[in-house]
Every structure is written in C-alpha cells, then in structure tokens.
Structure 1
C-alpha cells in the first residue's frame, strides 16, 4: 500500500500556539493560524468584489450549473467526452427568452427572488463555455430542441428551484439542463491563480449545516480516519473569519504526531464552530480557493 507523508500545514499543537520561552536571541514561535487568517481575509475581499460585480445579486450557486438527465447508452460512450469539453451545438432554432424575460428562484424556506432570464441559445453558449475537457476530435452533440422548466440547484442559502432550459439531443434519450438565469444575476467566485511554489494552505470544507436562529455552524471535510489518540490520527476544530457577506471557515488539525508516515486514506470528519451572529444570508466559503460550500438549513 502507498505510504504518504503529510505536509506540515495545517499542523497545530498547544505548544505551537504559545509564545516560545526559549533562550535569549530565539524568535518567538509564529502562530501557524496567522497565515490562514490572512488567506481568509483575501478570500472575503474577493467574494465581496464578486458580489459587487453582480450588482449585489443574491443567487450564489454551488458547483456546476449544468445537469445531465439520464445515462448515456453504451453506443454513445463518446458523448460524455463531448459534453465534458463543451462540444455542443444547436441543430435547429432554439427558443428565445420568455417575455417578460423574468423568472423566480425559490428556496426551500419559501423565500423568492426574481431574476432576469436568457434565451435557450444564451444558456447553450454558457453550457459550452463551461467545458473543461480536451476533446478536439470529438463530434459535437446536436441539440434538437429546448423547453423552459426548472431545476434544483445547491446554493449558499440551501437548495433552490431555479428556471432552467432543458435540451433534447440527437441520437440519445439523455437530456441536458442548464440554469436559465442571466449571468449578470449570478455570483460566481474566481479562485486566485494557482502558484505551484506557494499552494494555498488549509483544509477545504465540503458542506455546512446550521439553523435559522443558531450561531453554530457544523462543517464537513475530508480528514484522517482516526482520532489523535491513535497513530496517524487527528482531532479537529474550526474557526471563522467573518464579513457582512460571507464567512470563511478555517479547519484546525491536531495531529497525533508530526511527520508520521501514514497511509493515504481519508474519511469524512466534522467540526462545529461559533459565529459572531447567525449566518443569515451570508455565504460559507472554504479557505483554500475561496469557493462557496453547499449549505443545509435544518430549521
């Protein structure tokens, strides 16, 4: 089995959080959380800028805005690569935006928000632009029609039902759905450029849970399977850096020992933290790239 030596950060012990009392001339120990807090501050700045760029929009989806409905038939295995690369094109005239071009996003708590809509062609262009695969030799998928419907979208305020265009495809029963909301009304976070020499520190949270009135936030993430009382184990806590629009969650890891050679195995772990006030409509962001995390509101 492959062995893995975990990196030094984030590695927190009680001693590391205290000022060193060594001999004269020694520098005080640096709190390893300071760098993560500064990183979180930059994340909040970028998020605030993204909200302002979207005119203060309240729709902040988590993840992709395209859904595949159904499974590819065995004979259409190459269609998956075409879709991943954004190789899609209309084989017939597609509907324009409805008139008036306004739709409504509805959250599970009944909150509603009107948003501008785009045409089926416009949503198709967004779908194609979202492609990330390399499939220059793939045949494009042929879209034969579209209808305006709705789809459920994870957001920073919990699941929401959003207007969507549903496309039929030539040669398959699979359909594609794409959110029909005008991009100007969507908050999309752009991570900072990757720096191979200075990768972002921290553990990325995957989801968050809270209640309407509570100031407690429980987050999930991938960590070590065992507690810190066992070799290669770890315990976890978390803290938040907050603004009026978002909170960034920092996960703190307390390892059994530093620089242990451990199996590269992860498990879902969780931690609960206290916010300065209930979350409200603020987004929950992970610290490594500043991307929004999926939120569940339990009551």
Structure 2
C-alpha cells in the first residue's frame, strides 16, 4: 500500500512541475475538462457510499497516516523504519482489550464526540500493510490506552489511542483505538499506470468563518499568465450533500512553453454554493478527505 502511495506522490510532483511548463487551460497539462468533471462526480459518489457505510454521519473523518511513532530508532535498528512504513507490526502475544466501551474525540476547538473503542489487537490489525522487500516485522509486546493527536477533516483532534511497546527497541508506536464503524473510511481506486487520474492536487486548505469560501494552497507556475512560463488559476467547484471537490483550472501564458520544472506556492479562493459545515473537502485525484483549517 505504501509503495502505491509513493507512486501517487511521484505523480503529484510530476503533475505540479508540469504545470510550470504551460498547458491548455485545464486542471493540468493535457487534462480534459469533461474528464475532470466526471472524475469529481465519481469521487463524490465513492465518498457518499463511505458515509452511508458509517451510518450516514461524518463527524469523525480521519485524514492521512494514523500510525504514530514515539522516539527515534537506535542506530542498529535502522531497518525498522521500513518495517513501520510498510505496516509490518505484529502482535507478539495477547494484547489488552479496551478498558471501557467508549472514549471521546476532542477537537482543538473544544468540540467533542463519544466513539466506540476497540482492543489493542484490533487496532494493530487495522494498520495498512504492504510488501517491504523482506524487511523484518516489528513485534508488539504490550500496549496501554492513552491519547494521540491526529488530523481530521475538521482539524486536529485528540483521540483515544493504543501505545505499543516493541521488542528490542525503545521506540513506541501509536494507533487510534476508535472502532472503524465510527469513522468514514474511503478506499481510493486501484492504481492504473495507463489511466492515471488528472487534476492539480491541493496541498492544504482553509475555510472562512462563514464557511462559504475555501482558500486552497497548491503547487503551480512561478508567476501570472502575463509573464512567460506563468499561469493564472481558477476553480470549478463540484458539490454534494456530503463533500466538495475543487477542479483547479490552469490558464497559461502560452501552450507548450519550455520552462524550468520547478513548482511554486500558489493560492486560490473559491466560493461554495452552501457553507462547508461538516462536509469534507476531497482531493480530486484519489478522492481522499483533506484537513481543512477553520477560522
């Protein structure tokens, strides 16, 4: 799984860099606008299914990698980094059950949500795993229930989490103790190198106090379309009752310019038809929810 992530990251960097070399007024060089709109609708449909699978609510939507690391690997345990990145963490015995049925998710703004908990075995089994080319698995020898800070669509939150001790190292690993049934979980489409998704990726996003304007940060050309190798950007918003997808349209200085493939930080404001509320912002390429900083 994490190797697929690496491929995605490579494609994102390539797409962003290509945006510096001019394009054709679409989401990215070579992107067809009708294809991007269909892609956005497909993303929203997958998310709607994930929300329904979570009981129709989306107050708790984790974002990004949920496996945490406490401490640094000892010099002689350098191979453990690859093991953890590939999710190769196995139980070395019976791990504790949750000491209570529910716990509380607390957002930085003070909002709270009671959620069902799972035992340390189940939380460990939920770590995504991938082939790491023979790296040695890590053995969890014990666990205690504590808390960890994670990212969610509604901003940073402190969640109940299991902290695992590992064999032959002082490094500990954390994983949320929240039951999967309490979270909206999106499965991205299978990686297809011959039909990779289009669209410019968003690096980060914030929303104004009214919830009606998103400010997006992304990687683009160095200057405006009035300059060689520059580009202007506009956004096209596709919305549903559960989520929002933004297609970033590129308006280059000229098509097929030979430019340095270096990306620059650009920002774009887009207005929503309705306040964001508890809806998620989804990235157009994988359809995964993103953290949105709220004023």
State the TM-score, normalizing by the size of structure 2. Answer: 0.86
1:87, CA displacement in angstroms?
2.1
Report the counterpart of residue 27 of structure 1 in structure 2. none
- Out of 173, 177, 181, the residue aligned to residue 180 of structure 1 is 177
CA separation of 1:47 and 1:124: change in aligned 2, threshold 3 A? same
What is the rounded CA distance, in whole Å, between the counterparts of 2:250 and 2:240 in structure 1? 24
What is the Cα-based RMSD across aligned positions, in Å?
A: 2.2
1:211 positional shift: 2.9
Relative CO higher for 1 or 2, CA cutoff 8 Å, sep ≥ 6? 2
Give, in whole Å, the separation in 2 of the partners of 1:143 and 1:286.
34
Partner of 2:274: 277
1:230 aligns with: 227
CA distance in 2, matches of 1:164, 1:216: 34
**Quick check: 1:90–1:144 contact (8 Å CA) kept in 2?**
yes
Q: Tell me what 1:67 maps to.
A: 68
2: distance between equivalents of 1:74 and 1:133? 23
Separation in structure 1 between the aligned mates of residue 162 and residue 205 of structure 2, nearest angstrom: 29
SS of the residue 2:40 aligns to: helix
Cα deviation for residue 102 of structure 1 reads 0.8
Find 2:25's aligned residue among 12, 15, 29: 12
CA gap 1:6/1:247 in 2 versus in 1, 3 angstroms: closer
SS at match of 2:139: strand
Higher deviation after alignment, 74-83 or 32-41: 32-41
Task: Give the unaligned 5+ runs of structure 2.
Answer: 1-16
Q: 1:215 to 1:221 in 2, by over 3 A?
A: same
Normalising to structure 1: TM-score of the pair? 0.85
**Structure with bigger gyration radius:** 1
Of Structure 1 and Structure 2, which has the larger fraction of its residues in helix? 2
Q: Deviation per CA, 1:50-89: give whole Å up to 9, x if none.
A: 1111212421111111111122121110111121232222
* Cα distance in 2 for residues equivalent to 1:39 and 1:187: 20
Q: 1:63 to 1:5 in 2, by over 3 A?
A: closer
**Is the Cα contact below 8 Å between 2:20 and 2:230 reproduced in 1?**
no
CA distance, structure 2, for counterparts of residue 282 and residue 92 of structure 1: 41
Structure 1 gap ranges (5+): 14-30
Q: Which moved more, 1:203-212 or 1:223-232?
A: 223-232
Counterparts of 1:129-144 in structure 2 under 5 Å?
A: 130-136=128-134, 138-144=135-141
The whole-number CA distance in structure 1 between the counterparts of 2:131 and 2:267 is 33
* Partner of residue 91, structure 2: 90
- Runs (4 or more) in structure 1 with deviation over 4 Å come to 4-10
Give the structure 2 partner of residue 267 of structure 1. 264
Q: Tell me whether 282-291 or 220-229 shows the greater mean CA deviation.
A: 220-229
1:1-299 alignment, distance < 5 Å: 11-12=24-25, 32-58=32-58, 59-99=60-100, 101-127=101-127, 130-136=128-134, 138-298=135-295
Q: 1:82 touches 1:135 (CA, 8 Å); kept in 2?
A: no
Give the superposition deviation at 1:135.
Answer: 3.1
Number of residue-to-residue matches in the alignment:
274
Q: Is the CA contact (8 Å cut-off) linking 1:81 and 1:135 kept in structure 2?
A: no
Aligned counterparts of 1:217 and 1:201: Cα–Cα separation in 2: 21
Counterpart-to-counterpart distance in 2, 1:267 and 1:7 = 8
